[in-house]
Amino acid sequence: MKQALTGNEAAAIAAKLARVKVISAYPITPQTAVVERLAEFVANGELDAEFIKVESEHSALSACIGAAATGTRTFTATSSQGLMLMSEMLFVASGLRLPIVMANANRSLSAPLSIWCDQQDSMAVRDSGWVQLYCENNQEVLDSVLQAYRVAEELLLPVMVCFDGFILSHTAEPVDIPGQAEVDEFLPPYKLPNPLDPCRPVTMGPVGVPECYEEFRCMLQEATRASKEKLIEVGRAFWKHFRRRYGLIERYRSNDADVLLLTMGSLGSSAKDIVDSYRKRGEKVGLVRVRSFRPFPVKELIDALGSAKAVSVLEKDVSPGSAGALFLDTAAAFINVKRAPLMLDFICGLGGRDVSSLHIREAVRAATRAAEIGEVRKAVRWLGLREKLVGLRI
Amino acid sequence: MSENVKSLVDVPTEEFLLPGHAACAGCGSTLALRLTLKALGKNTIVTIPASCVSVIQGPFPLSSIAVPVLNVALPATGAVISGMEAVFRFRKEKRKIVVLGFGGDGATADIGLQTLSGAFERGHGIVYVCHDNEAYMNTGIQRSSATPFGAWTTTTPIGRYGAGKRHFKKDMPAIFAAHRIPCIATASVAYPLDLMQKLKRAQAVGGPAYVHIHCPCPPGWRFPPSQTIKLARLAVGTGMWVLYEIENGDPSTLRITVRPSKRRPVAEYLRAQGRFQHLPEREIRQIQKFVDENCERLGLEVARAR
Ligand SMILES: Cc1ncc(C[n+]2csc(CCOP(=O)(O)OP(=O)(O)O)c2C)c(N)n1
């Protein structure tokens, strides 16, 4: 059934279709509608679940942890400051290997206070041991939440489904809502191997002395690496059930491209339009969109980007004093590869700044120029910066 | 175990805190844990925030606690047990599983106060025990808001401009009484039957229950490990710690459960501990006044011995 849904509604409906048993969340713009929708579903009996209306995001995730440790399917959603407040518990959740699924409507971080979109919030917790998926549209939001449970429960890893605040969270698009029976077939009930149960006492999360802590971290690393295969496998199963295809990355007219754009999230769809207009003029421009940022698809990116001359990364985050996270990881992917494209990083769209077609074209032009002269003069740049406003010379 | 713990014969022999744990000699918190688990029995799941108990239970792969344990971050306990209790409510669990939080005074009165307040406000069927050793002991004796006035800790040192903690102990049971939860009780490791009786009641009420246990700490309070029970008893005997229970936060239900026949001067209690050795007479009088007022407020009207 097709219906016009915002990203927030898509996330809430996906959680309902996943038959989550415990929801615990706290409102924050732009995610609030997820919380409200789920509260409605529970209140009107559409969803048989406990909704714990906690007093903070730290508690939202903590409550999910307590519930998940007994072997229950849980869901939470947040944004920005909320994700920051959760950060302590993000590591606890992944360390305890609890398959919690979270929707994060990407929003910038204070200060200055901004409720608008960028991806700094989830980037700030990229090392928390959560699988991170970034969605291009609202259909992908719904589909990714369903896939997230499969990946999470089969590998005992928490998964964060990220979608751009306002751009997706508040924009209605036609979304195909699968039927409950189909979803039940795709996503059966799950059983945690060693839940907390008085019949069979276990201890979770005790002190890990230096002789064993590293092994626990390594096991988490291995499970997250294995989640690549799992995401692909679950993507295939999803195709079988719902006829929509998902992988770790999406390639758009990229096979023969000399110049490639690389991005995540909703920027992918804007970039596709620009790619089309270049292609119309016969210029070999393409796009690669990273869907899975954790695990990072190293092999897939080497394949997809390796034969291009230059790549412009467009990203809505920055690690001050270094560069954007997507650029850094992509550059690192090519560290031991003989043939690597030139790479440029464009920081853009921070705090809800609109990324226009002009900006995206600027990134294409810069990559084209780099390809021509065979070098990159300045690797990290800002797009659409109002330099005069702050007296900066970038 | 019968519903009442009136005498030693009512106390179960079964232990859920096993020998070989890593506690210091004379640890009050460990005794509190042992008695709590004894009272609540095998259908208990205990959630433990960072504290001495994280260490006491033993590091991976060892464990000295024979019921399921979930170790979590210092501020999180109230919310974690909310989530766990919600599951059992959702599942309409037939077994009476006790969802227990067991945190120190720091986890309870300071960093975890918000999550606990939230859990109590939402009315989850949980039992929360605060083992109050009156400082952050796991990190090496720093003051908490439950540290008593005048006490030396490593963050309230004695020096030219320092004379121990300058603020009085935060009244946690009163704060939770304001949440109108069905069961609030104070307890002491020196009165094990009273303690277990209160936990039995906490288990029975079905709504949120809060039991605050006074737990002397030999290294933190600076006294010999052989004196733990004596000191705990002296705290009650001087009125420094009063044993009572309150229903639904209603002051008219406040019931003193252990009434010392004659209240001893607080100086006896203070002088027995290294952490109070620096106190001048003036401050001991100040503490005595505070304790007198508190006892009067709680209705502990016994004559004070001279
Ligand atoms: C967020 C956070 N801050 C600080 C700590 C360090 N820490 C671990 S245990 C502890 C003291 C806890 O004190 P209390 O709750 O009184 O328990 P006790 O150690 O006395 O058993 C502290 C400060 C921590 N684990 N987490």
For residue A190, report the phi and psi dihedrals to the nearest 5 degrees.
-120, 160
Residues with CB under 6 A from ligand 1: B 29, 50-52, 73-74, 103-107, 133, 136-139, 144
CA atoms within 13 A on the CB side of B47: 31
Tell me which CATH homologous superfamily contains domain B28-298: Thiamin diphosphate (ThDP)-binding fold, Pyr/PP domains (3.40.50.970)
pLDDT in tens, A179-203: 999 999 999 999 999 999 999 999 9
Name the phi and psi angles at A48, rounded to 5: -90, 95
**pLDDT recorded at residue B4:** 84
The mean per-residue pLDDT over the stretch A209-236 comes to 98
Backbone dihedral angles phi then psi of residue B230, each to the nearest 5 degrees: -60, -45
What ipTM does this complex have? Answer: 0.96
- Written out in words, the top-level CATH class of the domain with range A249-382 is alpha beta
Whether residue B75 and residue A209 make contact (CB cut-off 8 A), yes or no, is no
Residue A113 Cα, ligand 1 centroid: separation in angstroms? 31
Mean pLDDT of A366-388: 96
Compare CB distances from B118 to A55, A200, A207 and report the shortest one's residue.
Answer: A55
Q: What is the mean pLDDT of residues B235-264?
A: 96
What gap in Å lies between CA B71 and CA B89, rounded to an integer?
22
**B114 vs A contacts (CB less than 8 Å):** 55-56, 59
Task: For chain A, positions 63-82, list CB contacts with chain B under 8 A.
Answer: 63-70, 72, 74
Say what the pLDDT of residue A391 is.
Answer: 84
At residue B303, the pLDDT reads 60
Written as six digits, the tokens of B247 are: 């229903």
Say how many Å lie between the first and final Cα of chain B, rounded. 41
Cβ partners under 8 Å of residue A19, min gap 6: A47, A48, A49, A73, A184, A187, A189
Q: What is the DSSP letter of A248?
A: S
Residue A30: is its pLDDT beyond 60?
yes
Write down the pLDDT at residue B1: 44
pLDDT digits (tens, 9 = 90+) for B150-169: 999 999 999 998 899 999 99
pLDDT at residue number B92: 96
Contact indicator for A381, A361 with CB cutoff of 8 Å = no
Residue B208 and residue B128 in contact, taking contact as beta carbons nearer than 8 Å: yes
CA–CA gap between residue A18 and residue A189 (Å, rounded): 9
> Is residue B302 pLDDT above 80, yes or no?
no
Is the pLDDT at B267 greater than 60? The verdict is yes
Q: Which residue has the tokens 């006491």?
A: B56
| CA dihedral sign of residues A25, A27, A28, A30 | positive
Percentage of chain B modeled with pLDDT above 70? 98
pLDDT at residue number A393: 75
Residues B270-281 have pLDDT tens digits of 999 999 999 999
Measured from the Cβ of residue A225, the count of other Cβ atoms closer than 10 Å reads 12
**What is the domain partition of chain B in residue ranges?**
28-298
Q: What angle do CA A201, A204, A208 make, to 5 degrees?
A: 130
Domain-wise residue ranges, chain A: 2-242, 249-382
pLDDT average, residue stretch B170-199: 98
Does domain A2-242 match CATH 3.10.270.10? no
Please give the distance, rounded to the nearest whole angstrom, from the Cα atom of residue B72 to the centre of ligand 1: 11
Protein residue whose Cα sits closest to atom 24 of ligand 1: B74
Residue A370 to residues A181, A191, A251, B280, Cα–Cα distance (Å): 52, 53, 22, 78
Do the two domains A2-242 and A249-382 of this chain adopt the same fold? yes
